[in-house]
């Protein structure tokens, strides 16, 4: 398994890097151009509100929160992977949109340092969730590039053998990639539902009290 994971990383690291750059670019847009993207972010926030409402309807306990976060993240990540077949359009849009959402939220953290907000509210589970989502999107981008090459091979038939090998290698690695993403998202959901709330209450709650006293 260790060799499979190593091979998976080596073959996909440049796509992971591309996903990171797209996400960071979206984050900078959301943070620096918050007023310009506010209408788009409001739609994304509406989707998050629906998730929160479903958690409340389920009782609002730790398990309900965990399951809602985990299932939503797994579906989103697997869709970015699979829908990458459509010329990488969906993973690219998803990365930029989520980056914009994160940047916007950090820019609007009134009374709280955005770095504290990131460290307390995002980093604990984000160290598992963000790599999983970015890696899933990277796989989607890889599939999208293969789709482009599949169209291009119609005009360059001499490259068909290499393209077949690349498709074979990608699809062979796909199950390991899916399992890796799901495991990371499982850990992230456990942390986000049971640990992150305590960190937020402990750190950001104290920070808000300090700002109020000032």
Q: Residue 191 and residue 188: Cα distance in Å, rounded?
A: 5
Residue 101 falls inside a structural domain: yes
Return the residue matching tokens 């990277």: 138
Residue 70 lies in a domain: yes
Dihedral of alpha carbons 169, 170, 173, 174, sign:
negative
Q: What is the pTM of this model?
A: 0.86
d(CA 121, CA 149): 41
Question: Per the structure, how many domains does the chain have?
Answer: 1
The answer to whether 80 touches 140, Cβ cutoff 8 Å, is yes
Give pLDDT tens digits for 201-213.
766 554 544 343 3
Residue 213 placed within a domain: no
Q: Length of the chain in residues, anyone? A: 214
Q: How far apart are CA 212 and CA 214, in angstroms?
A: 5
Rounded Cα–Cα distance for residues 75 and 51 (Å): 13
Give the residue numbers spanning the domain of 106. Answer: 2-205
Residue 57, domain member (yes or no): yes
Task: With a cut of 60, say whether residue 122 has pLDDT above it.
Answer: yes
Phi, psi of 201 (to 5 degrees): -65, -35
Q: Give the tens place of pLDDT for each residue, 17-46.
A: 999 999 999 999 999 998 899 888 888 888
* Cβ atoms 188, 129 nearer than 8 A: yes
């Amino acid at each position: 398994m260790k060799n499979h994971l190593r091979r998976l990383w080596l073959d996909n690291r440049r796509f992971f890097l591309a996903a990171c750059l797209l996400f960071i670019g979206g984050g900078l847009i959301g943070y620096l151009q918050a007023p310009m993207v506010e209408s788009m972010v409001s739609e994304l926030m509406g989707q998050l509100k629906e998730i929160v409402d479903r958690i409340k309807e389920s009782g609002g306990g730790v398990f309900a929160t965990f399951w809602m976060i985990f299932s939503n993240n797994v579906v989103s990540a697997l869709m970015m992977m699979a829908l990458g077949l459509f010329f990488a359009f969906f993973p690219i849009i998803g990365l930029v949109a989520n980056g914009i959402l994160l940047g916007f939220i950090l820019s609007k953290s009134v009374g709280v340092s955005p770095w504290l907000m990131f460290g307390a509210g995002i980093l604990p589970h984000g160290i598992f969730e963000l790599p999983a989502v970015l890696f899933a999107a990277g796989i989607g981008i890889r599939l999208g590039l293969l789709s482009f090459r599949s169209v291009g091979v119609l005009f360059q038939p001499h490259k068909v053998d290499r393209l077949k090998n690349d498709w074979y290698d990608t699809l062979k690695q796909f199950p390991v990639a899916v399992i890796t993403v799901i495991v990371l998202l499982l850990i992230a959901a456990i942390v986000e539902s049971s640990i992150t709330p305590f960190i937020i209450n402990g750190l950001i709650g104290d920070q808000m009290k300090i700002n109020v006293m000032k």
